[in-house]
Each structure stands twice: as structure tokens, then as C-alpha cells.
Chain A
């Protein structure tokens, strides 16, 4: 009996080791298959992503609230200290902005008049959905955030995500109650933009660093540090004229842009629904928008 048990053990150990090794090989194979599947932009992968995001959203939502509150409290404490200095600064800024307001109003009136003489087609109206950032996928390879609004709230892939400062990114995936925003700094981010006073066309290409590149600029175009960068609206997905950032360096390596967005205080994002009638929608066969949602 004893000897028999011993022989079973002698047999079982290598079998166990072998199955473990097999499991490892099998799982590594599955991982490679997943990589290829993901590379091929499979619907299954996207659906799985959405499902996971939707499933953990309540937990992330609950966890991110106290953190946000705490940060607000700390910030308020800090503001109390510098309230006098800030007040003076704001007064000065207010003066300046008043001046700008009169300028803007004059330009608006002039614009209106010129438009009416030209019979210009008006830009489509914008709808906004405001959502809270519930997860920040900190990592070396991805720059994206998860929001607590999804298809239920009218979020759609491709919409621009804004903070008060400027463009933060683009909606990449939409779940039922969550959506993922690919930030402009992500290596997969490509945004058509206009640069400088001359409004030259170019592409803002992320590379996972804090300052994305400016690419596909016409060869003779002069760009200097400090030039403003804004969305061009080419492609019809983003509204034109959204502030993006400022050119920081121009050298042989290329042109770098620092986005206006304050990444450290990105608690809420506004998603812009820019309904350009019948350009993108008509491709998927759905009805053209404009039903005044």
C-alpha cells in the first residue's frame, strides 16, 4: 500500500509540474493572441474594456469622491492664506478683461454684420455634457482618463473633452455609464490644429510626454515659441477654435507644444457634442442629427 502511494506520488509530482508548465505556456499564448486581437481593433476587446470599466465605475466613483473633497479642502486652505494678494491680482485682471470685453463685443457686432452680408453658413450649435474624472490611468504607456458619463448621458466617441483652460483630449471609448478620454499627450492622439496668428494647419501628435509634437506643418511656415495652438475643426469632429496650448520649443528635434490644461486639477471634463449635420452620421446610416437634443 505504502509503496503504491509512493509510486503515485513519484508520478504525480512531474505530472503536476508539467501541467503547471503547460498552463504557463497556454496563458502566454493567450496573451499573445490578445495582443494581436487588440492590434486588429477587435470589437470583442473594446466590448470587454467597456464592460470592465462599467463594472468598476461605481467603486472608482465612490473612491474618487473623498479624494476630490480632500483636495478641495487643501486648496481652499491654501487660498485663505493668499486671499489678499489674489484679490489685488483679480482686480487688475478684471480691469484688463473689461477692456477685452468691449473689444470682443465690438468684434462680435462687426462679425455679425459681416456674416449677414456674406450669407455665411452658421456653425452648428454645441451641446455640453459635464462629467467627473473617476480614474486616471497612471502608467508609462497610456495617457487616458475614465469619466462617469457614457452613452446614457449622450456621450459619443470622438467628442472633444475640455477643461476650463483648453482641450484635454478626445472621447475614445463609450460604455453605458463610463467613457474613456484619450488625452492629447497620449501617443495615439492626433488632433488637427491651427498654429500662430497666421493659423497654419498642422497636426498635434502625442508621444506620452507632457509636451506633444507639432507635425505635418508646411515647410515654409515659421513657428516661434509662444505661438498659440487651437483646434482647426478639420475632419468635422472637433469644433474649430478650441484653445489647445502654446508652442514651447522649436528646434531640430521638432516643435513642442505645452497644453493649457492643468493636468493636476482635472476633476471635471466638459464633453462637446459638435453636431456637424450629416458629415459623420451619414456614414453609419443613422438619422442626421439636429433634433435639438
Chain B
């Protein structure tokens, strides 16, 4: 029976790993790198993480977990609260409703699909920020962040794949 408890704890810990890795990466993404001009174009780690797990392990990245990721990021980044949450929930909806397409896609196709989903998510964030701020915001920084986020996808996806192999088999 004891083993049963440990076994169950082990399963819970493993199934929490996508969420834990995502939260950790959000923090790592905020460590100041002191590289000139890079701070404004840091890729959106949360977007990549939520996309990856929602495609590959939707049962481990539930709406509740996504909400938590968004809330954590919004609170820590000091941006408008709720904007990041909305964008991440939108990613979830897109993947959930088009699951057949995502499930059959190769890595390259997933990357292309990510480029589309990320564009929509960042556009939504820009729109909500404009609304909340009451002014038209500069598009250029958003565009830069979009490009770095899309560029960073393969790298992080590889990392997540390794984590998936290690913790989730």
C-alpha cells in the first residue's frame, strides 16, 4: 500500500512537470542577460510552452494550468493583468478545436502552425493593450518579439521533447 502512495505521488509529480518547467522557464527568461538591446525582444516563453504542451500533452496542460501560467507571467512582468491569460487561452481554444490538424502534423508543420498561432496571440495582446491603454501602441516592438518567439520555437520545443522523454515516457 505504501508503494501505492509513492507511486501515485510519482505520477502526480510527473504530470505536473510541464507546468513546473513552464513556470521555471518564464523566470529564466526574465534573468537580465545584459546584452544590449535584447530585453525588448526576448521571446515569449509562455506562448511556446503552452503551445507545445497543448499540442503534445493536452491532458497535462489544462485550461486551469494555462490560466495559472498566464497569471504568473502577467503578475511577474508588470504588464496589464489578464492580457497574457487571454492570449494563452486563445491558443488553447485554437488547438483544442483544430486538434485533428495539430495531431497529424510533423515538426516542421507544427512550427509553421505555431507561427500563425503566435501571430494571432500577439495581435490579441497588442489589441488588448491598446484598448486598456487607450492609445495606439507601437507595432515594431511586438513584431520583434514575434520574430524572436517564432525563431526560438525549435530550440524550446527540443527542450520540451527531452523533458517529455525524461519525465513522461
A63 touches B33 (CB 8 A): no
Name the one of B32, B74, B75, B137 contacting A136, with C-beta atoms under 8 angstroms.
B32
Whether, in the assembled complex, B155 has its beta carbon less than 8 Å from a beta carbon of chain A, the answer is no
User: In the complex, which residue of chain B has the Cβ closest to the Cβ of A28?
Assistant: B89
User: In the complex, which residue of chain A has the Cβ closest to the Cβ of B93?
Assistant: A24
Q: Please indicate the chain B residues that have their CB under 8 angstroms from the CB of A59 in the complex.
A: 27
Most chain B Cβ neighbours within 10 Å, of A139, A182, A209: A139
**26 A-B pairs whose Cβ atoms sit less than 8 Å apart in the complex:** A24-B92, A27-B66, A28-B86, A30-B67, A32-B86, A34-B74, A38-B132, A39-B80, A45-B81, A48-B75, A53-B75, A60-B27, A60-B30, A64-B32, A134-B31, A137-B79, A139-B40, A139-B77, A140-B126, A141-B79, A142-B78, A173-B78, A182-B78, A207-B137, A209-B141, A210-B37
Shortest beta-carbon distance from B22 to chain A in Å: 14
Q: Which residues, 155 to 169 on A, are CB-close (under 8 Å) to B?
A: none
Shortest beta-carbon distance from A175 to chain B in Å: 12
Whether, in the assembled complex, A97 has its beta carbon less than 8 Å from a beta carbon of chain B, the answer is no
Q: How many cross-chain pairs have Cβ atoms below 8 Å apart between A and B?
A: 165
Whether, in the assembled complex, B29 has its beta carbon less than 8 Å from a beta carbon of chain A, the answer is yes
The majority secondary structure among interface residues of chain B is helix
What per-residue 1/0 map shows which CB atoms of A50-66 lie under 8 Å from chain B? 00110010011001100
Known: A20-B63, A38-B82. 13 other contacts (CB 8 A): A32-B82, A33-B82, A35-B80, A35-B132, A52-B72, A63-B27, A67-B31, A135-B31, A139-B79, A140-B126, A140-B145, A180-B78, A265-B34
Whether, in the assembled complex, A187 has its beta carbon less than 8 Å from a beta carbon of chain B, the answer is yes
B140 touches A23 (CB 8 A): no
> In whole angstroms, how far apart are the Cα atoms of A134 and B81 in the complex?
21
Q: Range of interface residues on chain A?
A: 35 or more
Q: Which residues, 76 to 98 on B, are CB-close (under 8 Å) to A?
A: 76-83, 85-86, 89, 92-93
Q: How many residues of B contact A (CB 8 A)?
A: 55
Q: Please indicate the chain B residues that have their CB under 8 angstroms from the CB of A33 in the complex.
A: 82
Whether, in the assembled complex, B6 has its beta carbon less than 8 Å from a beta carbon of chain A, the answer is no
Shortest beta-carbon distance from A89 to chain B in Å: 20
Q: Please indicate the chain B residues that have their CB under 8 angstroms from the CB of A32 in the complex.
A: 82, 86
Q: Which residues, 28 to 52 on B, are CB-close (under 8 Å) to A?
A: 28-42, 44
What per-residue 1/0 map shows which CB atoms of B4-41 lie under 8 Å from chain A? 00000000000000000000000111111111111111
A135 touches B89 (CB 8 A): no
Q: Which residues, 44 to 91 on A, are CB-close (under 8 Å) to B?
A: 45, 48-49, 52-53, 56, 59-60, 63-64, 67-68, 71
Q: Which residues, 237 to 256 on A, are CB-close (under 8 Å) to B?
A: none
A67 touches B34 (CB 8 A): yes
Q: CB within 8 Å of B: which residues of A?
A: 20, 23-24, 27-28, 30-35, 37-39, 45, 48-49, 52-53, 56, 59-60, 63-64, 67-68, 71, 133-146, 172-173, 180, 182, 187, 207-210, 262-267
Shortest beta-carbon distance from B128 to chain A in Å: 7
Known: A28-B89, A60-B30, A138-B30. A34 touches B40 (CB 8 A): no
Shortest beta-carbon distance from B62 to chain A in Å: 8
B140 touches A38 (CB 8 A): no
Name the one of B38, B62, B70 contacting A31, with C-beta atoms under 8 angstroms.
B70
Shortest beta-carbon distance from B49 to chain A in Å: 15
B75 touches A35 (CB 8 A): no
B122 touches A140 (CB 8 A): yes
Q: Please indicate the chain B residues that have their CB under 8 angstroms from the CB of A67 in the complex.
A: 31-34
A31 touches B89 (CB 8 A): yes
